[in-house]
Structure 1
């Protein structure tokens, strides 16, 4: 092989590596969406049992209000050395009545995602500020004092 062929192959390999390094890495998370299955859930026809058989277990369920099952799917993409960004996001909320029949099946997407930016790196709390040493040695002298539960030498004593 002559030098021009070697340099040509090396240039092609370098170009190939440089283009793959800049492509986005797709990371699916949560529920794997199958639109055909999602479209089969119908209010007034399905119940909790048929929804569980069709879609599987929900990502999470409501804790308050009407019984609602949420199926959450998200796909994020990231480039090397860059924070991931959400590219696709879907939520299917299946609401049930008291007897377990489907009342509604609502979808929402990326337009409903809220981006939060925390204010600082500390969470404000009530109470007084204590130093590290106060936390470390704070119980010295309180164990065994009358009225503080330290008397008696143990349970039942």
Structure 2
């Protein structure tokens, strides 16, 4: 009777451990979104200083065009020993005018994300295909063309 109890407890413990080991691991990445703070940013009222005091420094800023601050937030989930997958993705784009006042605060989600899949293991390049030997011996005879007294045009 005692052996069956120990066996039953060990089976239950193994099942519980196995279930916990297969659960998804959630990892927040980037800006940690606080909706109460994000909703306080209002066009026409806030400026760059007030946005920085409210939301903090942006993830990155625009380099060209109108000044825009981007706050990027992602949550990934993965099972152990598996590549992570993006479960949630949010970008807050705060646009400013030339005086530094907020013009717009736009949100976008995972529907705007573009997934790129590389085509094979090679990068396509322009030009002709050359073999290793052509690359190695292709310049023989052309080296002296630019030297004084060489075979180049006079």
The residue number in structure 2 matching 1:84 is: 84
Q: Sort the Cα spacing of 1:22 and 1:135 in 2 relative to 1 into closer, same or farther, 3 A.
A: same
- Cα shift readout 1:43-85 (whole Å, capped 9, x = no counterpart): 0011111111111111111122111100000001011233221
Gaps in structure 1 of 5+ consecutive residues: 148-157
The answer to whether structure 1 residue 45 and structure 2 residue 20 are counterparts is: no
Question: What is the rounded CA distance, in whole Å, between the counterparts of 2:62 and 2:51 in structure 1?
Answer: 16
Determine whether 1:25 maps to 2:25.
yes
User: SS in structure 1 opposite 2:39?
Assistant: helix
User: For residue 59 of structure 1, what is the aligned residue in structure 2?
Assistant: 59
> Which residue number corresponds to residue 121 of structure 1?
121
Distance in 1 separating the partners of 2:66 and 2:40: 22
1:146 aligned onto 2:147: yes
Q: TM-score, normalised by structure 2?
A: 0.82
Q: How many Å separate the matches in 2 of 1:30 and 1:137?
A: 50
Task: Report what 2:72 is aligned to.
Answer: 72
Q: TM-score, normalised by structure 1?
A: 0.80
Deviation at 1:114, TM superposition (A): 1.7
Distance apart, 1:126 and its partner CA: 2.5
| Corresponding residue of 1:150 | none
| Residue number in structure 1 paired with 2:5 | 5
Alignment coverage as a number of residue pairs: 147
* Residues in 2 aligned to 1:46 and 1:122: alpha-carbon distance in whole angstroms: 49
C-alpha RMSD of matched pairs (Å):
2.5
> What is the CA distance between 1:146 and its match in structure 2?
3.4
In the alignment, structure 2 segments of 5+ residues that lack a partner are: 149-154
The CA deviation at 1:123 is 1.4
